[in-house]
Amino acid sequence: DVKVTQSSRYLVKRTGEKVFLECVQDMDHENMFWYRQDPGLGLRLIYFSYDVKMKEKGDIPEGYSVSREKKERFSLILESASTNQTSMYLCASSSLPGQFNEKLFFGSGTQLSVL
């Protein structure tokens, strides 16, 4: 089975801190995604990447950046955390490069609290 591992299950940070959320997948997938999930809003796409060093903005990229230096690892960066970034963050990966009618595999999520 595909395994998508997020480095932290729970994270508490202070306003203004730089925050790194790490995600690793073990199935050599080309595509990786970062979503955030908030009550009543469902999952919203922040950024995605379809290849190493490639990135594309999702629907809500403001306040975030990403890094993909290696195929298996996709990092989400909050340059200066704010309280409105308190959320559940979900990483996902998928295969079929260039074709997005595919199956996503999700990690268990990181619940980030910004105080």
Instruction: Please give the residue ranges that form the binding site for another protein (CB under 8 A).
Output: 4, 33, 35, 40-45, 48, 50, 56, 58-59, 90, 92, 100-101, 103-109
- Looking at the Cβ atoms of 14 and 100, the one nearer to another protein is 100
For the bound state, the minimum distance from the C-beta of residue 10 to another protein, rounded and expressed in Å, comes to: 10
CA 67 to CA 80: how far, in whole Å? Answer: 16
Closest of 31, 32, 58 to residue 47, by C-alpha: 58
- Looking at the Cβ atoms of 3 and 14, the one nearer to another protein is 3
Alpha carbon distances (Å) from 112 to 19, 39, 58, 60, 75: 10, 14, 20, 17, 14
For the bound state, the minimum distance from the C-beta of residue 15 to another protein, rounded and expressed in Å, comes to: 25
